[in-house]
């Protein structure tokens, strides 16, 4: 369990994907050279959070999340002003 709204995360995107389940994509700022986007999941309406790890490489941030009609989450981010994307299915 972790607190994702800590001093080493910012630019957080949130999306509700179920009755009490929330997914967050947050910019990690642990170091200036490795700022990436981490995914966090809460299954209790945001009381506790679990870090599921990075979903982008260094300097790929900030994230925006959109749920597609089939339930797939689309994660969009920028790197040097180029729009990039990844897709993931979270059950």
Angstrom distances, CA of residue 37 to CA of 18, 44, 57, 82? 22, 22, 8, 16
Q: Does the structure show a pLDDT above 90 at 82? A: no
Residue 37's DSSP bridge partners are 27
Q: What is the pLDDT of residue 21?
A: 94
Task: Report whether the peptide linkage leading into residue 2 is cis, meaning its omega lies within 30 degrees of zero.
Answer: no
Q: List pLDDT tens digits, range 19-75.
A: 999 999 888 876 767 778 888 999 999 999 888 888 877 776 677 888 888 888 888
């Amino acid at each position: 369990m972790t607190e994702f709204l800590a001093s080493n995360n910012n630019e957080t995107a949130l999306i509700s994907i179920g009755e009490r389940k929330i997914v967050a994509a947050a910019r990690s700022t642990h170091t200036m050279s490795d700022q990436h986007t981490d995914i966090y999941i809460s299954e209790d309406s945001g009381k506790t959070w679990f870090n599921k790890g990075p979903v982008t490489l260094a300097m790929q941030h900030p994230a925006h999340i959109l749920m597609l009609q089939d339930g797939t989450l689309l994660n969009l981010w920028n790197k040097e002003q180029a729009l990039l994307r990844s897709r993931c299915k979270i059950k």
